Structure 1
Amino acid sequence: METTGIETPLVDGTVDRFVDYKNRPAIRSKSGGWRSAYFIIGVEVAERFAYYGISSNLITYLTGPLGQSTATAAENVNAWSGTASLLPLVGAFIADAFLGRYLTILIASSLYILALGLLTVSALLPYPDCEGATSCSPPQFQVILFFFSLYLVAFAQGGHKPCVQAFGADQFDSENLEERKAKSSFFNWWYLGLCGGPLMALGVLNYIQDNYSWGLGFGIPCIVMGLALLIFSAGTVTYRYEEKVNEKSPFVRIGQVFVRAFQNRRTSPSSISLEEEASGTLPHRSSQQFRFLNKALVSPDGSKEEGNVCSITEVEEAKAVLRLVPIWVSCLAFAVVFAQFSTLFTKQGVTMDRSIGSNFEVPAATLQSFISMTVVILIPIYDRIMVPIIRSITGKPSGLTMLQRIGTGIFISIISMAVSALVEIKRLQTAEKYGLVDDPNATVPMKVWWLIPQYLLTGAADVFTMVGLQEFFYDQVPNELRSIGLALYLSIFGVGSFLSSFLISVVETTTGGDGEDGWIADNLNRGHLDYFYWLLAGISTVAYVFYLYIAKSYIYNRANSL
């Protein structure tokens, strides 16, 4: 894999391109680093606690206090989740184009607290007495207030999530060897916190919501987000803030490159002397990639009059963004696989023996906690043990390159699908052996713990691919677009969820009909979920081959990315 860019020496103990809270050049010894990152990681743990405290049990609230049918509730949950997955693109655009990351985080956190407060109020309003009624639902105002609050939560996290992570990574200087190592470590510990928050939410809030009070279950996240805002504000004097050195918006700069390249599409490439323009400051390979964009360097008449053409830096920024597209596309199959653990894995578990002792039955959805536990265990091992060993072999500060790390996780996800298929084959054979094929409500005499390996493999894949994607999409975009970069990473999983739903719909349509059960049947004992898992494994394998081809030819945007 090749690279572009060079390391810039820093002087006087300052950090190039960054200022402190008083808009003075940021002093390395007095700003940024882990002293700032601890504040920011703490804020993200609180935000994930709040978000999953709402989302993980949302369908129970919709079918319970709000009186919705299961189908309607499921549609509402899917619509909200999909919207929440794509809104970071909006929040990141606002941050990178107008407000900056720090101010966007403050505003988004305030909106988050307001939204959670309104959600708590909607849950505390008295519900009608439905005893003996055939149908019952709360007043229209209460329903409107709930959904307004719910989508305000989605909008707030859309501004919060990409900016907090980008702002946290900003506290480490990529041009300094020690801080570069710390930045790679930051993404590991960031993702550990990202899983720690949901783990606490699944273990505490869901129990409170189901057994005590929805108002308390929504109110606790509101209080936690309030404390998180105070913690984030307390770190203000330690943070590094990106200095605005170019008055032109990065969106305008990059957009102009594509516009002018299109306008000059008939210009002869021979009129573009890129080597002469670059004067040796940019690698030849990078300059020759996506050569059609080089036409933005000249006017239609072949002249290079200033003001009518784009600079080499602007063209290289546009190329850097364009290089991300094939990586984004090749990771969609991983996102489809990722979507299965909260749906089909759980459906498998519901049919299996979940008893512990004689009086307790493990909820099938609880097995999802094995993913978070795997991440919590593996990340410290990876960061403290594996990275130093791999670093000593490869000579790279982060051990594996970002693309190597992503590829490792994708490969593990393919294995997880194969294991899932084999476990499902065993489950179907057990159902047939005991004559339970035609009984959709029967408990197959096979312990639910058989599913643990596929959950563990999913967690292991996350440690490599999810963390790698976060670091990659942060690092490989222009400095001013890093929030957008992380929003692009999040959008992979938003689109992947929609693709998973589409694929399931296609499979249901093509494998069922005429009274026959398809692969994904209501009665899983008559279906063939194993076939669907093999299909996903096959799709992922094809996508993985495509990914390897793209990764091999990828040109890193910065030398220190390797």
Structure 2
Amino acid sequence: MVTGISLAQGGLLSNLIVYLIQEFNIESITAAKIFNVVNGCLSIIPLAGAIIADSYMGCYSVIWISSLISSLGMLLLSLTAVFSKLRPPHCENGSNLCRRPSEAQLAVLYVSLALASLGMAGARFTIGPLGAYQFDKPKHQGIFFNWFIFVMYISTAVCSTLIVYVQDNVSWAWGFGICFAMNIIGLVLFLAGSGFYRHLKPQGSPFASLGRVIVAAIKKRNMLLSLKSEDYCQDLQNNAFATPTKFFRFLNRAALKAEGDAEQDGSIGKPWRLCTVREVEDFKCLIKMLPLWSSALLVSVPLVIQLSMVILQALTMDRHLGAHFKIPAGTMPVFIFIATCTTIFLLDRFLFPMWDNLTHRPITPLQRVGIGHVLDVLSMAVIALIEAKRLNIVRRNNLQDQDNAVIPMSVFWLVPSLALAGIGEAFHFPGHIAFYYQEFPASLKNTSTAVVALSIGIGFYMGNGLIDIVQKTTEWLPDNINRGKLDNVYWLVTILGGINFCYFLVCASKYKYQNDEKKVINDSVDEE
């Protein structure tokens, strides 16, 4: 299922900018913004899917319904490639005679992108919690997330090469049609294994209980806190007994029992005036993670800028491989995915086991995230230097006044920065997912992985916002990047990433894991 959805999503995104420019006559920077909006939707919508899965339908139903919706979106997008009436007349990029797409053509395009984004987002990240729930130990769940992301990225790498080649050299209709077929095949295989899954049944909205904590604490704001644990309401139904912590002590009032709050059998009589200690501590757990989650927002911005701008760079560079083969511009992000997959394999099979043997402690999720931060900043610094070299060649050959002229510089100069970004992804992406899955309350396990997608989605919109600000305040990003200063944009993101890394270090140093780390270590030792 992961493979099918990832192949469909990769086929949608890998060459979307080129499709918009060449087939819909959309300007390059505008196409990059649309690409970022679609990516943002693919990363924000999973939160809604996770909430529905946690509260009402469960992972299984959300996954197969979402997959059907994404199939419909890919089918509609394929039709825009099949029928010429759904596209404006073809013209050369940059020509003044180019006709813009009509409102009806844009409507069909945007509806297809919206349906595909909605369906893929609802299914892709919901599969993670369902897969992790098949395992009991944190170590095994961590290994699952490593390979979950490995499959996602290797599938995207296939799309960025084979499917992009089909789209560029055979037809767009065949390229999108293959993605539609992969989506359907993934759905069929997922449904075929239904009888083997362990299902986590939804138990009502956990967000309602979080809201009740705030309301109950406010209503009892004048009550004096007690030092006796018996004065606080416990979750008797699930035999969950907990002691209120001192962190955000005023929230403890939500669990403080008052006359009339509870029934004679000990059950809660007024749920908006009394919560269990477990519910209060779950809410505190989310508050503790907010600073770390906020530090993840700017981690996504370098990837956002790189994914969209590197394709525009590639369109202006020499993409020949040998005398007869020309690398599609949309294929360039494949080096990120290859680096990510290779690194995940090496980490899981060799480097992390060696670390465990040397230190007798597994590397923590936050340590992985920190390493990813550093590599992301380095990748932006490298691509800034490469872009400066590219612009020097443009000026030396007097090509800056020619719209997106191809310069005598190999596109493979972009590979080192893309590889660094991919290695960084291999550290911080699985690290983030493992961290939130491990630390989130049990009632919010599906939401735990969706908040990672949410941070990525917000990062895409922040990237778009940054592009807008740069365009309005500077001359760094014209539609013809040969006349611009894209290297300055990369240096700006590098500086922002460095500041964000310092912020992350402060947040990580203050954070205390909810789970006992000794238990994780013992699990690791027992497996040996």
Give me the TM-score of the superposition, normalised by structure 1.
0.79
How well do the aligned residues superpose, as a CA RMSD in angstroms?
3.4
Partner of 2:305: 340
User: Post-superposition shift, 1:427?
Assistant: 3.5
In structure 2, what is the Cα distance between the partners aligned to 1:111 and 1:356?
38
In structure 2, what is the Cα distance between the partners aligned to 1:213 and 1:499?
33
In structure 2, what is the Cα distance between the partners aligned to 1:434 and 1:71?
24
In structure 1, what is the Cα distance between the partners aligned to 2:260 and 2:506?
36
In structure 2, what is the Cα distance between the partners aligned to 1:494 and 1:166?
19
Match of 2:446 among 476, 483, 489: 483
Partner of 1:263: 219
Instruction: From the superposition, tell whether residues 421 and 153 of structure 1 become closer, same or farther in structure 2 (CA, over 3 Å).
Output: closer
User: Post-superposition shift, 1:365?
Assistant: 3.6
> Quick check: 1:249 aligned with 2:205?
yes
Match of 1:167 among 130, 140, 145: 130
Partner of 1:5: none
Match of 1:558 among 512, 515, 522: 515
Match of 1:449 among 382, 387, 412: 412
User: Post-superposition shift, 1:73?
Assistant: 5.2
Q: Which residue identity does 1:394 align to in structure 2?
A: T
Q: Name which of structure 1's ranges 488-497 and 253-262 shifts more when overlaid on structure 2.
A: 253-262
In structure 1, what is the Cα distance between the partners aligned to 2:448 and 2:493?
27
> Quick check: 1:328 aligned with 2:286?
no
Conserved 8 A contact 1:272-1:298: no
Instruction: From the superposition, tell whether residues 255 and 144 of structure 1 become closer, same or farther in structure 2 (CA, over 3 Å).
Output: same
Conserved 8 A contact 1:267-1:300: no
> Quick check: 1:292 aligned with 2:250?
yes
Conserved 8 A contact 2:86-2:105: no
Partner of 1:416: 379
Q: Which residue identity does 1:325 align to in structure 2?
A: L
Query: For residues 442-493 of structure 1, what are the alpha-carbon distances to aligned partners after superposition, in whole Å with 9 as ceiling and x for unaligned?
Result: 5544433222211110000000001111222222222232221211110111
Q: Which residue identity does 1:163 align to in structure 2?
A: T
Partner of 2:48: 90
Q: Which residue identity does 1:495 align to in structure 2?
A: I
Conserved 8 A contact 2:15-2:331: no
Q: Which residue identity does 1:231 align to in structure 2?
A: L
User: Post-superposition shift, 1:257?
Assistant: 1.0
User: Post-superposition shift, 1:216?
Assistant: 2.9
Partner of 2:197: 239
In structure 1, what is the Cα distance between the partners aligned to 2:74 and 2:328?
27
Instruction: From the superposition, tell whether residues 123 and 139 of structure 1 become closer, same or farther in structure 2 (CA, over 3 Å).
Output: farther
Instruction: From the superposition, tell whether residues 537 and 66 of structure 1 become closer, same or farther in structure 2 (CA, over 3 Å).
Output: closer
In structure 1, what is the Cα distance between the partners aligned to 2:26 and 2:495?
38
In structure 2, what is the Cα distance between the partners aligned to 1:75 and 1:105?
28
In structure 2, what is the Cα distance between the partners aligned to 1:257 and 1:62?
48
Is there any run of 5+ residues in structure 1 with no aligned partner, and where? 1-42, 175-179, 513-517
User: Post-superposition shift, 1:57?
Assistant: 2.7
In structure 2, what is the Cα distance between the partners aligned to 1:221 and 1:435?
41
Query: For residues 506-525 of structure 1, what are the alpha-carbon distances to aligned partners after superposition, in whole Å with 9 as ceiling and x for unaligned?
Result: 23333x3xxxxx33345555
Q: Name which of structure 1's ranges 552-561 and 152-161 shifts more when overlaid on structure 2.
A: 552-561
Instruction: From the superposition, tell whether residues 253 and 62 of structure 1 become closer, same or farther in structure 2 (CA, over 3 Å).
Output: same
User: Post-superposition shift, 1:371?
Assistant: 0.8
Conserved 8 A contact 2:28-2:479: no
Q: Name which of structure 1's ranges 438-447 and 158-167 shifts more when overlaid on structure 2.
A: 438-447
User: Post-superposition shift, 1:283?
Assistant: 8.4
Instruction: From the superposition, tell whether residues 404 and 529 of structure 1 become closer, same or farther in structure 2 (CA, over 3 Å).
Output: same
Match of 1:206 among 164, 177, 181: 164
In structure 1, what is the Cα distance between the partners aligned to 2:479 and 2:8?
33
Conserved 8 A contact 1:264-1:299: no
Q: Which residue identity does 2:502 align to in structure 1?
A: V
SS of the residue corresponding to residue 391 of structure 1 reads helix
Partner of 1:55: 13
Instruction: From the superposition, tell whether residues 189 and 394 of structure 1 become closer, same or farther in structure 2 (CA, over 3 Å).
Output: same
Q: Name which of structure 1's ranges 298-307 and 547-556 shifts more when overlaid on structure 2.
A: 298-307
In structure 1, what is the Cα distance between the partners aligned to 2:316 and 2:205?
55
> Quick check: 1:498 aligned with 2:461?
yes
> Quick check: 1:381 aligned with 2:346?
yes
Q: Which residue identity does 2:213 align to in structure 1?
A: V
In structure 2, what is the Cα distance between the partners aligned to 1:118 and 1:97?
31
> Quick check: 1:115 aligned with 2:78?
no
In structure 2, what is the Cα distance between the partners aligned to 1:129 and 1:377?
39
Instruction: From the superposition, tell whether residues 138 and 492 of structure 1 become closer, same or farther in structure 2 (CA, over 3 Å).
Output: closer
User: Post-superposition shift, 1:390?
Assistant: 1.1
Match of 1:403 among 366, 378, 382: 366
Match of 1:537 among 477, 486, 494: 494
In structure 1, what is the Cα distance between the partners aligned to 2:305 and 2:100?
32
Matches within 5 A, 1:143-158: 144-158=107-121
User: Post-superposition shift, 1:164?
Assistant: 0.7
In structure 1, what is the Cα distance between the partners aligned to 2:158 and 2:43?
21
Aligned residues: 502
Q: Which residue identity does 1:250 align to in structure 2?
A: P
User: Post-superposition shift, 1:72?
Assistant: 6.3
Query: For residues 129-161 of structure 1, what are the alpha-carbon distances to aligned partners after superposition, in whole Å with 9 as ceiling and x for unaligned?
Result: 988997778998776555433322222123212
Q: Once the two structures are aligned, what percentage of the paired residues are identical?
A: 33
Is there any run of 5+ residues in structure 2 with no aligned partner, and where? 92-96, 235-239, 522-528
User: Post-superposition shift, 1:66?
Assistant: 5.2
In structure 2, what is the Cα distance between the partners aligned to 1:488 and 1:130?
38
Q: Which residue identity does 2:195 align to in structure 1?
A: V
Q: Which residue identity does 2:280 align to in structure 1?
A: V
User: Post-superposition shift, 1:77?
Assistant: 4.1
